[in-house]
Amino acid sequence: MRPTANVMLTLAYKSDAPWNEVHWKNERFDELLLASRAEADPAKSQELYCEMQKLVSDDGGNVIPLHAAYLDAISSKVKGMPKVPLAATGGGEWPEYAWIDS
Residue 7 CA to residue 99 CA, distance in Å, equals 39
Residues 55 and 9 occupy one common structural domain: yes
* The total number of structural domains that make up the chain: 2
pTM, full prediction: 0.64
Q: Residues 71, 53: one domain?
A: no
Tens-place pLDDT, residues 75-102:
888 888 776 666 555 455 556 777 888 7
pLDDT higher than 60, residue 9: yes
The number of beta carbons lying within 10 Å of the beta carbon of residue 6 is 16
Same domain, 35 and 15: yes
> Cα separation of 49 and 42, whole Å?
10
Q: Which helix (H) or strand (E) holds 50?
A: helix 42-59
Same domain, 84 and 51: no
